[in-house]
Structure 1
Amino acid sequence: MKKTLLALLFVMLLATPSIAGSGELYLYIWSEYIPDEVVQNFTRETGIKVHLSNYDSNEAMYAKIKLAGDGYDIIVPSSDYVGLMRRQDMLLPLDKSKLSNFGNLAPKFVNQSFDPDNTYSLPYMWGSTAIAVNTGMLGTGAVNSIDDLWKPEMDGRLLLPNDPRDVFALALKSLGYSLNETDPARLEEAYQKLKSLIPMVRVFDSDSPKQALLSGEVLVGVVWNGEAYIANQENPEITYIYPEKGFSLWMDSLCIPKGAKNIEEAHAFLNYLMRPDVAALISTEMGYSTPNAKALDFLPEEVRNNPIVYPSEEVAARGEFQDYIGEAMKIYDAYWVKLKTD
């Protein structure tokens, strides 16, 4: 009996989730969003083993954290979802005394409205969502604006993100509205405009859209700049266009969700990611812009001066950051379901 009980206790001990000081870390992050080298170097330096899981949308991440409640130590939501999760008490406050590299971040990326004083989040990367075009197949003049996506010759050649905010941003900007629009009448107008675009889409992909561009399955894609950067490195005829009417800017942040068990390890990893050399390595390999001011000195010139990764101030001024839109998100979601199913 005692042997059976001891055996049972031993099995339960093995099944117990990791706790603080365990030397393990559970990271839940967008697909293809952190170099393997960064994770391996962190483990080599600290001995902390990183368990990596991926998602392809904020909605998927949010639903899993909301449902599970624990299991992950770090998540990487976009700014609007940081605001949402902060309001819903889903995040733990950060211990700034353990984040000595916080001062490396550029002032314009901290103390944002979605998280004043960065109580719950640290900026990880920022970038844009604009238009990648295979000019080798379509020529240089085929797509120069958002409105060109509606051209009949785009039918069956188009990729859009599998994300309601990013897709609605196209219609809203085309109509001259903010991509953070909450007016139901204007959202219905955008929905009506998208009804003629969605049937032309060959692929919806927020995971690795560059693959469809590189394979030639699509010739035009509304993609994140990092995807466009990598596609352009492999095929220089795939160019990236910042529309005159505007485009989405976004910032993804690092957060510790409530229910995280490896708090010390999480802070160690957050502080590591804010090292200038590490932030520069991430930006160089992923093709996204770093909010780390001191990392710019570590970037190769071909990355630092690449307009896909770092647009000029004039171009960036046409972009608009996504913000939290509250109850209006229900309208977006309802229209999104209709667009995808009707």
Structure 2
Amino acid sequence: MKRLISFALAILAVCALLVLGSSQLRAANGVKADHKLTLYNWGDYIDPALLKKFQKETGYQVQIETFDSNEAMFTKIKQGGTNYDLAVPSDYMIQKMRRAHLLKPIDHKRLQGLQQLNPRFLNQSFDRGNHYSLPYFWGTLGIVYNDQMIASQAIQHWQDLWSPKLRNQLMLVDSARDIMGMALITQGKSVNTTNQADLEQAKKKLQRLMPNVKAIVADEIKMYMAQNEAAAAVTWSGEAAEMMANNKHLHYVVPSEGSNLWFDNFVIPKTAKHYQAIYAFLNFMLKPENAAQNAAYVGYATPNQGAQHLLPASISNDHQFYPNDKVLARLQVYADLGQKMIGVYNDKFLEFKMYPR
């Protein structure tokens, strides 16, 4: 029995040394036990060099998990299996998360640099007063066209996409809200309509577009457009920027009659635990130099006006990606329409996709 007890004590001693060694190793690397922040983000949506800089400055280690849709993110946080400290949902999803009691309010008194955010991008309909969210990136839905295949004056409005000259030359991003929204705008309707007749008319309008549609795709749209596979595409501004970086003949336009203005935002899920790390990170990302570095890496528009001034003029003065107030005033933000109505949008979009060319 004594030998057994001695053996057990020896095992415990070895375990203790291993735990101590692990703690010392983390300390040697500048990371204290539980000195971390867990960020739930879209894939490749933050500059890795910034995370290293943040850890070096604060000692907090950022652990990242990624998601590929707002709905997947919502489900994971609702299940509560992981204690996420920050997440990055899109505009309409914030309304849904609030109704489900999945968010903690943001303490503005603990923020340093809130004044750096452009007032135009605060106090949006999905979170009046920004009690639960801070804008991270923003952008638009628009048209990418190839000047080798089509003249610039031929693509300025949504209706131009219905031209017979574009037969089998148009690519669409695979997104029900965006493509249905485009059709609704051409008919003078809100992108948030719940009127069944409006949605049916939008679907029929899209069905008349089908002869021009070469493909309805997801991320592959960037590769196809960069490789001159189509004359035009409907996609988001950040995707367009990446396409244009790989093909000098591509251009992006936001139709003057209106489009979608979208936001991705920092929120604090109800599962958050590391509040000192949360506010240290938010304040770090509010610094103009860090926001500018992140915008240059990601390619989307920053809401940080101090950061915008630090970006190269070729970026900050590009009205394709930083539209003027006149254009912004005509853009619409998606609202959370509820699961039932989103199902209607999805069904109409599916009927369009199945329509024969």
Which interval holds the TM-score relative to the shorter structure?
0.7 to 0.9
- Distance in structure 1 (CA, Å) of the matches to 2:50 and 2:223: 23
Deviations 1:71-100 (A, max 9, x none): 432211111111111121111122333322
- Matched residue, 2:99: 87
Q: Where in structure 2 are the equivalents of 1:24-35 lying within 5 Å?
A: 24-35=36-47
Is residue 217 of structure 2 the alignment partner of residue 204 of structure 1?
A: yes
- Cα distance change on mapping 1:315 and 1:110 into 2, 3 Å: closer
The aligned amino acid for 2:345 is Y
Matched, 1:229 2:241: yes
- Distance in 2 (alpha carbons) for counterparts of 1:167 and 1:65: 28
One-letter code aligned to 1:158 = L
Deviates more, 1:146-155 or 1:90-99: 146-155
Cα displacement (A) at 1:239: 0.5
- Matched residue, 1:150: 162
Q: Which is worse superposed, 66-75 or 316-325?
A: 66-75
Which one has the largest radius of gyration?
2
User: For the aligned residues, what is the CA RMSD?
Assistant: 2.9
Alignment of 1:215-254 (within 5 A): 215-254=227-266
- CA displacement at 1:341 relative to structure 2: 5.6
SS at 2:149 equivalent: helix
1:17 aligned partner:
none
Amino acid paired to 1:336? F
Q: Normalization by structure 2: what TM-score?
A: 0.82
Q: Following TM superposition, by how much is the alpha carbon of 1:311 offset from its aligned partner in structure 2, in angstroms?
A: 1.2
TM-fit CA distance, 1:298: 1.7
Aligned length: 332
User: Residue 302 and residue 186 in structure 1: after superposition, are their counterparts in 2 closer, same or farther (change >3 A)?
Assistant: same
Using the alignment, how far apart are the partners of 1:339 and 1:70 within structure 2? Answer: 38
In structure 2, the CA distance between the partners of 1:248 and 1:270, relative to structure 1 (3 Å rule), is: same
Q: 1:45-194 residue pairs with structure 2 within 5 A?
A: 45-194=57-206
Deviation at 1:185, TM superposition (A): 1.3
Distance 2:226 2:270 in 1: 40
Cα displacement (A) at 1:123: 0.9
1:54/1:194 CA distance change after superposition, 3 Å: farther
Moved more, 169-178 or 256-265: 256-265
Asked if 1:315 corresponds to 2:327, the answer is: yes
The unaligned stretches of length 5 or more in structure 1 are 14-19
**Deviation string, structure 1 residues 268-307 (Cα, Å, up to 9, x no partner):** 2122111111112222333322222322332222211111
Q: Which residue of 1 aligns with 2:280?
A: 268
- The 5 A counterparts of 1:301-340 are 301-326=313-338, 327-340=340-353
Match of 1:16 in 2: none
3-state DSSP of counterpart to 1:311: coil
Preserved CA contact (<8 Å) 2:83 2:272: yes
2:309 is matched with 297
Instruction: Give me the identity figure in percent.
Output: 36
Once residues 55 and 350 of structure 2 are traced to their aligned partners in structure 1, the CA distance between those partners, rounded to angstroms, is 42
What TM-score, normalized by structure 1, do the two folds share?
0.85
CA distance in 2, matches of 1:94, 1:209: 37
Contact kept? 2:258, 2:327, Cα under 8 Å? no
Q: d(CA) in 1 for partners of 2:334 and 2:252?
A: 20
The answer to whether the 8 A contact 2:87-2:268 is kept is: yes
- Structure 2 Cα separation of the partners of residues 204 and 68 of structure 1: 32
Distance 1:266 1:33, change over 3 A: same
Whether the aligned pair in 2 keeps the contact of 1:98 and 1:268 (CA below 8 Å) is: no
Specify whether residues 137 and 64 from structure 1 end up closer, same or farther in structure 2 by C-alpha distance, changes over 3 A only: farther
SS in 1 for 2:269: coil
Per-residue Cα deviation, 1:9-34 (whole angstroms, up to 9, x for no partner): 99xx9xxxxxx971222222223422
Does the Cα contact within 8 Å between 1:125 and 1:289 map onto a contact in 2?
yes
Q: Secondary structure at the match of 2:137?
A: strand
Task: Verify the 8 A CA contact 2:80 2:271 in the aligned structure 1.
Answer: no
- Counterpart of 2:46, as a letter, is I
Q: In structure 1, what is the Cα distance between the partners aligned to 2:138 and 2:297?
A: 14
